[in-house]
Amino acid sequence: MKHIIEFPLDDGDSVLIEVDEAASTDDRISIGEQVSQTAQQSFESALEKVKPVADTIMSKVRNLNDPADEVEVQFGIKMSAELGAVIASGNAEVNYQINLKWKKNK
């Protein structure tokens, strides 16, 4: 079942994201498209988890014995009220499709 999760922003505002997960009984519950849960971390904090993934991929690609002239990596991010940003197992589940592309400096 889909729920609307409110992710606070660092500037005090918030963003609403639709997710596929059940709301627990101690969260804010409402009807229809209203907010059903508030995330346990800010949106920016949740997305900070993407940076180490990108840094690791970039480091490994640069250290190949015969690096490619161009590398593109795609992965999906699924938002979770409890966990924040999670790398998704399939494209159908993602809230955001991340495309990272590196070109070799010549």
pTM above 0.85, yes or no: no
Asked whether 81 and 38 are in contact (CB, 8 A), the reply is yes
Beta bridge partners of 14: 8
Q: Give the residue-averaged pLDDT of 43-66.
A: 84
Express as a percent the part of the chain with pLDDT over 90: 0
Confidence of residue 106 (pLDDT cuts 50, 70, 90): low
Q: Give 21: exposed, middle or buried? Use CB within 10 Å, 0-12, 13-18, 19+.
A: middle
Place of tokens 């997960």: 21
